[in-house]
Every structure is written in C-alpha cells, then in structure tokens.
C-alpha cells in the first residue's frame, strides 16, 4: 500500500493512501469519512445529484468535487460506490479512457459483484478488490457509527489483495469476511433476503396492526394513524427486536407461535382476518407461514392449508 506521503521510520502507522471516490452517495460518502478518520486523504469525489453534492460538502468538506475520470487519474485507492447497475459501464468507461494508473487499488462496494466486473481495469494493471459493507445506509449521521459494527464481504484476486482488503476494513472499524468470487450472488441474495424483506415484513405487520387498533383509544393515548413511529410501531418494536435477537442467538429454536405449534385453526383464522383487511397481506402471511411450517415440520395438515398448489398436485395424483 504505497503512498507519496513521507513516513518516518519511527512511525508505526501504516502507509496513508490518496483516496478518490466515485460517487458521493450514501455508501461512498460514509466510507470516505471512515477512511479519512483512519488517516487516509480523500482528495476528491465525484458527485452529480443535489443530494450527493450535499453529502460530499458535509461529510468530506476538504475534498474536491471533480469529474470521475479526474478522480480516478489521481487516486492511489479508487472507491467505486455506484449502484450495481452502473458499475460495469463505469469500469468500461474508465478503462477505455485510460484514466486509472497501473498499481491503483480499485475497490467497488457492490454486494452482488466480485472482482470479475473490474477485469477491464485489472488488465491495465490495477489491483481489483470487492469490499461490500453488509449494512444499510440512510445518508444520516448513524451511518458512520453502524460501520464500526458491520461485517464487510471481501473478494480479491490473491492473498496480497485479501491482505490489503482486510487492512482497509479493519481501519474503517469493520470486520472483514472472505467471500469466494463464485459465491458473491448467493452472499448478496442472503443479505437482501434477511434485510430488505424484513422491512417489507415489518411494514406489512404495522399496516395490519394499525387496522386492528383503529378507533377510539384509551384516555390520553396517541391516535392510530398512518404516520411512522406511532402506536403500532411502539407495540411491535419490542416483540420484533426480541424475535430477531432470539433468531440470531438460538436459530430455529426461536420459532414460536401458532405456525410453529401446528395450530391449523388459528392460522386459518389469521388468513381470513388478513384477507378481510388486505388480500396482499394475507398472501404475504401465507407464503411466510408455509416456509415456517416447513421448518417446524410438525403438522402436514397445516402445510396442506398453506400450500394450495402442493395440495392440488397431491389431489391430482
């Protein structure tokens, strides 16, 4: 990890890098701030939208706002923090323009991609790394604090690359985790399933709970409405937090409730009540209940209730 900056022989600190970031979105600006906090110098960022410009000016006030090619040309460590769908095109453009010098460490933050997407730059002498923070970013102050507790999925071409990736992640306060190139899609699918779908599950549960709590409340109690962070959310939060904690600590042993018990009557009543509120909520409940019943494996009658297609296939035999 060479750098132009002189380092005294008595200084035990690792070499500092000149860092460029494309672009200053939620992820890029957070990683840039974390790298600066570790002592690296983020000299420039690429930012186009008003939101990205604002993040660049507030999170990285000492960095210049430059076109992507100029950022790439001056970087020792180039961080490509663009959306997955834009990454291949950006890499191809930088390679065609000859914007990245040989020896540059090029990092992308895409969870779905390994280092293969960086091949056009690697062929020109760049060192390719995939470093994906397994964290959701809001663009607010909590992002930096969350990085300190996050794991990062890292993929590299060789052991030297893995050592560099590990060092960078540790400097940012995270925990590096090795992900094989051929498993990046599975890795990303698992994270998306466990985080994005959790949001859908919670929002659906809140919608059903709001419907159940509608009407006059207790004296002095907040009225149930459609605004977030209300009574329904406060009621669900301790239960959902405990369920998540139990699942992470105890695995499948954390399963409780009517589906885990194989209670066909209760689950059937749930489906009817949800269908009366919103058929889409009932469909989501049915799908997740089926998967829960399959994991619990206690009552074939419950699986028959939930798996209409499977039941029809068995009846046709």
Residues 108 and 230 in one domain: no
CA distance 73 to 169: 23
Residues 71 and 194 in one domain: no
Residues 170 and 200 in one domain: no
Domain boundary among 125, 158, 179: 179
Domain of residue 32 covers 18-179
Residues 242 and 173 in one domain: no
Give the 3-state secondary structure of residue 105: strand
Q: What angle do CA 195, 200, 204 make, to 5 degrees?
A: 145
pLDDT tens, residue by residue, 61-82: 999 999 999 999 999 999 999 9
Residues 99 and 231 in one domain: no
Residues 45 and 72 in one domain: yes
Residues 246 and 175 in one domain: no
Q: With respect to residue 231, please indicate whether it lies within any of the assigned structural domains.
A: yes
Residue 246, pLDDT above cutoff 80: yes
Residue 11, pLDDT above cutoff 90: no
Q: With respect to residue 257, please indicate whether it lies within any of the assigned structural domains.
A: yes
pLDDT of residue 277: 96
pLDDT tens, residue by residue, 247-276: 999 999 999 999 999 999 999 999 999 999
Give the 3-state secondary structure of residue 296: helix
What average pLDDT score do residues 239-246 get?
97
Among residues 7, 13, 69, the alpha carbon closest in space to that of 44 is found at 69
pLDDT of residue 311: 53
Q: With respect to residue 39, please indicate whether it lies within any of the assigned structural domains.
A: yes
Q: With respect to residue 5, please indicate whether it lies within any of the assigned structural domains.
A: no
pLDDT of residue 317: 53
Among residues 85, 24, 79, 28, the alpha carbon closest in space to that of 51 is found at 24
Domain boundary among 122, 157, 179: 179
Residues 164 and 194 in one domain: no
Share of the chain above pLDDT 90, in %: 83
Among residues 285, 283, 279, 278, the alpha carbon closest in space to that of 257 is found at 285
Alpha-carbon separation of residue 287 from 292, 294, 302, 307, 316 (angstroms): 9, 11, 12, 8, 22
CA distance 128 to 235: 47
Name 9's Cβ contacts closer than 8 Å, sequence gap at least 6: none
- Spatial contact of 32 and 47, defined as CB atoms under 8 Å apart: no
Residues 199 and 135 in one domain: no
Range list of β-strands (E), 5-70 = 18-22, 41-46, 64-65
Total domains in the fold of the chain: 2
What average pLDDT score do residues 141-148 get?
88
Residue 282, pLDDT above cutoff 60: yes
Exposed/middle/buried for residue 234 (C-beta within 10 Å: 0-12, 13-18, 19+): exposed
Strand pairing partners for 106?
A: 78, 128
Residues 94 and 123 in one domain: yes
Residues 193 and 139 in one domain: no
pLDDT of residue 88: 98
Residues 193 and 166 in one domain: no
Q: With respect to residue 267, please indicate whether it lies within any of the assigned structural domains.
A: yes
* Residue bearing the bigger pLDDT, 139 or 10: 139
Q: With respect to residue 305, please indicate whether it lies within any of the assigned structural domains.
A: yes
Neighbours of 201 (CB within 10 A): 14
Q: With respect to residue 204, please indicate whether it lies within any of the assigned structural domains.
A: yes
Domain boundary among 179, 200, 231: 179
27: left (phi over 0), alpha (psi -120 to 50) or beta: alpha
Neighbours of 173 (CB within 10 A): 16
CATH number at residue 51: 3.40.50.720
- Spatial contact of 28 and 81, defined as CB atoms under 8 Å apart: yes
pLDDT of residue 315: 55
Asked, as a colleague might, if the bond just before 23 is cis with ω within 30 of 0, I would say yes
**Tokens 């009658």 sit at which residue?**
301
60 band by pLDDT with thresholds 50, 70 and 90:
very high
Of 1-10, 94-103, 142-151, 197-206, the least confident: 1-10
Q: With respect to residue 7, please indicate whether it lies within any of the assigned structural domains.
A: no
């Amino acid at each position: 990890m060479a750098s132009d900056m002189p380092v005294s022989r008595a200084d035990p600190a690792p070499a500092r890098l000149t860092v460029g970031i494309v672009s200053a979105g939620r992820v890029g600006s957070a990683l840039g701030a974390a790298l600066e906090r570790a002592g690296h110098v983020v000299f420039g960022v690429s930012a186009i939208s008003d939101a990205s410009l604002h993040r660049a000016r507030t999170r990285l006030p000492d960095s210049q706002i430059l076109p992507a090619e100029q950022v790439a040309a001056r970087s020792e460590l180039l961080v490509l923090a663009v959306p997955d769908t834009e990454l291949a095109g950006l890499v191809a453009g930088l390679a065609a323009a000859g914007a990245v010098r040989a020896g540059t460490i090029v990092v992308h933050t895409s969870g779905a991609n390994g280092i293969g997407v960086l091949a056009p730059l690697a062929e020109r002498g760049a060192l390719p790394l995939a470093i994906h923070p397994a964290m959701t970013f809001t663009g607010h102050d909590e992002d930096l604090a969350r990085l300190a507790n996050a794991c990062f999925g890292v993929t590299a071409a060789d052991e030297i690359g893995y050592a560099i990736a590990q060092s960078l992640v540790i400097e940012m306060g995270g925990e590096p985790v090795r992900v094989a190139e051929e498993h990046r899609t599975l890795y990303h699918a698992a994270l998306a399933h466990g985080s994005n779908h959790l949001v859908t599950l919670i929002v659906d549960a809140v919608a059903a709970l709001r419907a159940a709590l509608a009407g006059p409340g207790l004296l002095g109690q907040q009225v149930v409405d459609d605004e977030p962070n209300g009574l329904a959310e406060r009621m669900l939060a301790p239960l959902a937090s405990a369920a998540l904690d139990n699942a992470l600590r105890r695995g499948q042993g954390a399963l409780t409730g009517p589906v885990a018990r194989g209670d066909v009557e209760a689950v059937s009543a749930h489906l009817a009540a949800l269908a009366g509120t919103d058929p889409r909520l009932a469909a989501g409940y049915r799908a997740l209940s089926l998967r829960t019943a399959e994991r619990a494996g206690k009552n074939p009658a419950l699986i028959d209730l939930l798996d209409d297609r499977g039941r029809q296939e068995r009846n046709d035999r």
